[in-house]
Structure 1
Amino acid sequence: MKTAIFFISIFIFPLISHSQITQKVRKVVPVMSQQIVYLDGSAKAASGGKSRAYYKIDLPKNTIEWYYIVTTSAEKSETKTFLDLVPQLTRLLDPTGVTVLAVADIMAPPGSATCAAYLMDKANADAFSEKADNSGGKISYVTSGTRENFREGTVQIRDAIYGTYYLGFKDPGSPAGIMIEFEVAAIVEEVVVNNKEWANDIREQLYDNFYQNLRGKKFEEEDAKDIANCLVSQMTSEKTPGEYYAMSQNEKDSFIAEKHIACSAKFVEPQSPEYEKASNFANLGWKAYENGNIERCIEFSKEALSLDSSLAFVKTNLGLCYLIKNDQVTATKYYTEALSDIKKLKLRSARKEYLTTAIKYMDDALKKYPDIKGSEEVKALYQEELKKI
């Protein structure tokens, strides 16, 4: 058996998608700042005064619900009443949407007059402004956004949330007219990308990529799992998705290679200072074996062990040579010593490679030297150990 080298420092460059953690976040968006409208009473309205008015409401994209808040006064006033719809909604809103916002918690200043508020589309808003209903015409309103006999309060709309609507106000017939103050705001829900956390599907993709790469390089399942888990853990703990995606491909490759070396370190077998020299003698011995020179193989193999006694494959070579020489005692000694060393190897794939190769070479030798005795016992011992991997 030639020198067995199991490369740990392989380079794995995963191709991962830009799938990231996303979450839905709700926020308050002002739609119309506080407005003041004066509507004339019935007497003045009859002579051309303004008893109705409407306002265009452009709802922002991703609106899931919206509100308007109203308060009224029987007298005109230069003093503005603070409705504070946006601050109130912001304080009450749960950005995750888990907690439902309660309309009753939004406080409107007390009103002292009565108005009617109607939510409509453009065609009905025009008919409303022209008082088509006073001459038998029919005007359609969005029921959820319409209120009559309204002094103060907050209206929530959840069924008319796309595009543009019109909010109309009417003095229902007060003698002197009314002042109405109102404000409009919407709750929008947006999908926000979290570049600070790794999505679970990407963690799984990374693990699978690393695992399959390692298995493709003949790492045993448990070893591949161990290294793959370590790689995912180190990679995702040291870099956020945003940091990783911002790296160049060369930077990504270097980063992953560095993590792979660190995760594989525990599987690297220690080597003596004389390892390379010992391996050269071992290879010379195996070459002699292939040429049929058993004595020369023994000579070179023993020289290799004198330099580095940890070379299990050299011991199996010697065991094979002594089997061919029909020295079962010495052969068994070397094979059992080799087996003890093989069991200490950190990589399962390395242990498997040593065992299967030793068994194969015994089978090959039996074809060439059919009179060999004692190989079956050794082979059974190695096969039993192989089953444990």
Structure 2
Amino acid sequence: MIGCVLYQSLLPSLFGAVFLLEAPAGQDVPASPGTAVVNFPEGGELRVFVDYVGRTLGVRFVYGDELKGQTIELRPSPVEIPKDRLLPMLAGLLRVHDLAMVEVSPNVYRIVRAEQSSRSVAAFLPQGHPPDPASLRMVTQVLRVPAAKVETLAQSLGKFTSSAKSELIAVPERGLIIVTDYESRVALMKTILDALDAARPDVTMASVDVGGVDAASLASQVTAVLAEVYKKAAPGETPPTLRGDLLSRAIVVIGSQRQIDEARQLIDRLRPAEAQRTQRVYALTYLSVDRAKALIEKRLFASAITPAAVHLDADAPSNRLFITADPDTHALIDTVLTQEDHPLPQAQRPLRIYRPQNRKAADLLATLSQLLGQG
């Protein structure tokens, strides 16, 4: 029973202005007794999954507009799981949307809005460090692992869930781990899983705090150095795996204890130089991110600043640039955008109508956009 006592006094109002739905048809009948086939492509409606769980388990869900427009991301699909994991899986998907289910009577659940929204990914970051735009998306990922290792691997991965919104379900009998979390955190777990599932028995992992520096950039630098070291000193040995952790501002190191110690020493040596670099968000008003990126790279090249010294990510939907660089480079970028990110005078942007004779207008627009972006 989920929070039943807290909601007893609300029962009369809970059933007002809502509708009770039987689960819809359309899902495949599970091939194995006691299991359910969950087959929802990316972008499927959460409401459809709720109704499917209700039909499969013989329970009813009551809801109003709470599920309107809500979608889920399940990767990969379809997947066959035991029926007794469906409710925990649904609870995790509801938390993604700040919803919860309350058992208001036997086998009847009311879907309600959570009283307190879970913390977002941005709450884990130091002030002034914006999240990677892609990291704000929540997904449900099905990870297939050897059945004998499910419990151990699930325990290891559980340390890296991001917040109260996250859900990690172990299904040993099917060799599955089902994770609902931010997309960037799921990617981190997949990297960890690949390394921990290696044949070597001495593989372990550690999290190295790097303070306020760009963990992903520092991890890339350390990885590059270690690759060269191992190539020369130990050509037959695989170097440790490093992954910058967005939420905790740490680097996850996966390998033997000796390799972890080596990586930790190298991180400590490179961190002071990296600490001079900070990440800033540049919100563009008139320039597109592609055009702004081209102008910035052109100015950096003219100023003899190496590309490796600047980490630049473009987020086209929000028309923002995420740039990690030292203070002097940021000052140069500020100058470029101050000069370029403004509306053109009317005299410099006259309206003309062009009627293509031999090519489609869409093809010409694509070519012009590409040329302007490289200018």
Structure having greater relative contact order (Cα 8 Å, sep ≥ 6): 1
Greater helix proportion:
1
User: Which structure has the greater CA radius of gyration?
Assistant: 1
TM, length-normalised to structure 2: 0.19
TM, length-normalised to structure 1: 0.19
